[in-house]
């Protein structure tokens, strides 16, 4: 498939985990992908690996790295302008960058609250606002946001749940406001996916990643945790014209778990 031939995509937090898998998936279908991350070395290494991937070369895709803190308003505006200047278009934005700072609500301090809301939610506002400046005149765009199953509520994640529920409200509203410009906006809401984010959660609760994954798998109907590639394939659906009449939706991807 080469659904993204000649398309330019930005994946925030693309250096690792779900973002890296998404960047690879888009590039294997022909996209030029900007791997945008706080981690300069990580973004560069991931972009190099993607560009060298056999399927990416065959599809005519490529990946380049960009360093940006997605919570920094001027830096976000600047990097999107640079990307548009370099490639002449911007078709796809994946708002993927995110962090957790879990704590029980009565112990959660303001910096834990603000860090999570700013990195997971305000960043999506800043990046979507920057991206639509180029998508609206082109009358084409796909914005895909990472929400979470935790948006429905999760012990120790009041900050994260609020931010990820906020992503869903942002998604439905952007779909309404940007729809007239042929811009689709959707979200995916993963359950437990094996990445460094969930490995850190395991450590926090005094477990090993493998042991933690086993516990989660035992209460998941499909009997296992998810892999980043299984989120990337859904993001690619929303980023493609296969979902041309889908907008304002959130797809839960959690192995059948509630």
Candidates 14-22, 83-91, 103-111, 239-247; binding stretch for ligand NDP (CB under 6 A): 14-22
Is residue 232 near ligand NDP by the rule CB under 6 A?
no
Is residue 143 near ligand NDP by the rule CB under 6 A?
no
Count of alpha carbons within 13 angstroms of residue 93, beta-carbon side? 33
Is residue 166 near ligand NDP by the rule CB under 6 A?
no
User: At closest approach, how far in Å is the CB of 53 from ligand NDP?
Assistant: 19
- Single residue of 71, 157, 184, 213 touching ligand NDP by CB under 6 A: 71
Catalytic-role residue among 134, 140, 160, 192: 160
Q: Is beta strand 8-12 parallel, antiparallel or unpaired with respect to 32-37? A: parallel
Is residue 45 near ligand NDP by the rule CB under 6 A?
no
- Single residue of 2, 39, 122, 172 touching ligand NDP by CB under 6 A: 39
Task: Tell me the three state secondary structure of residue 224.
Answer: coil
Is residue 97 near ligand NDP by the rule CB under 6 A?
yes
Is residue 141 near ligand NDP by the rule CB under 6 A?
no
Smaller CB distance to ligand NDP: residue 56 or 235?
235
Question: Who contacts 192 (Cβ-Cβ below 8 Å, separation ≥6)?
Answer: 149, 198, 213, 216, 220, 225, 226, 254, 257
- Single residue of 35, 64, 65, 99 touching ligand NDP by CB under 6 A: 99
The answer to whether residues 230 and 195 touch, using CB atoms and an 8 Å cutoff, is no
Q: In what order do the strands lie in the sheet with 32-37?
A: 62-67, 32-37, 8-12, 92-95, 141-146, 183-190, 250-253
Smaller CB distance to ligand NDP: residue 25 or 140?
25
How far is residue 78's CA from residue 132's CA, in Å, rounded to a whole number? 14
The answer to whether residues 144 and 97 touch, using CB atoms and an 8 Å cutoff, is no
- Classify the C-alpha dihedral 34-37-43-49 as positive or negative: negative
Active site residue 245: no
Which residue reads 């409200």 in tokens?
A: 169
Q: Which two tokens stand for residue 58?
A: 């065959």
Is residue 235 near ligand NDP by the rule CB under 6 A?
no
Candidates 2-10, 32-40, 83-91, 179-187; binding stretch for ligand NDP (CB under 6 A): 32-40
- The residues assigned a catalytic role are 160
Binding site for ligand NDP (CB under 6 A): 12-13, 15-19, 37-39, 42, 69-71, 96-99, 119-120, 146, 148, 190, 192-193, 195-198
């Amino acid at each position: 498939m080469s659904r993204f031939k000649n398309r330019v995509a930005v994946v925030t937090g693309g250096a690792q985990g779900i973002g890296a898998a998404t960047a690879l998936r888009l590039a294997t279908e022909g996209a030029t992908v900007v791997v945008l991350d706080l981690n300069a070395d990580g973004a560069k290494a991931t972009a190099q690996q993607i560009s060298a991937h056999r399927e990416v070369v065959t599809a005519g895709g490529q990946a380049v790295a960009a360093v940006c803190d997605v919570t920094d308003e001027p830096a976000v505006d600047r990097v999107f302008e640079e990307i548009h200047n370099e490639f002449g278009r911007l078709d796809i934005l994946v708002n993927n960058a995110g962090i957790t700072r879990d704590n029980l609500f009565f112990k959660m301090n303001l910096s834990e609250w603000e860090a999570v809301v700013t990195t997971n939610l305000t960043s999506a506002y800043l990046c979507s606002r920057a991206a639509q400046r180029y998508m609206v005149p082109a009358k084409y765009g796909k914005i895909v946001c990472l929400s979470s199953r935790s948006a429905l509520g999760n012990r120790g994640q009041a900050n994260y749940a609020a931010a990820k529920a906020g992503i869903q409200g942002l998604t439905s509203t952007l779909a309404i406001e940007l729809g007239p410009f042929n811009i689709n906006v959707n979200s995916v809401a993963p359950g437990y996916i094996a990445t460094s984010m969930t490995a850190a959660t395991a450590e926090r609760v005094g477990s090993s990643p493998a042991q933690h994954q086993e516990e989660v798998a035992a209460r998941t109907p499909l009997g296992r945790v998810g892999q980043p590639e299984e989120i990337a394939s859904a993001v690619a659906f929303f980023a493609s014209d296969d979902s041309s009449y889908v907008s304002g939706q959130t797809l839960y991807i959690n192995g059948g778990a509630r």
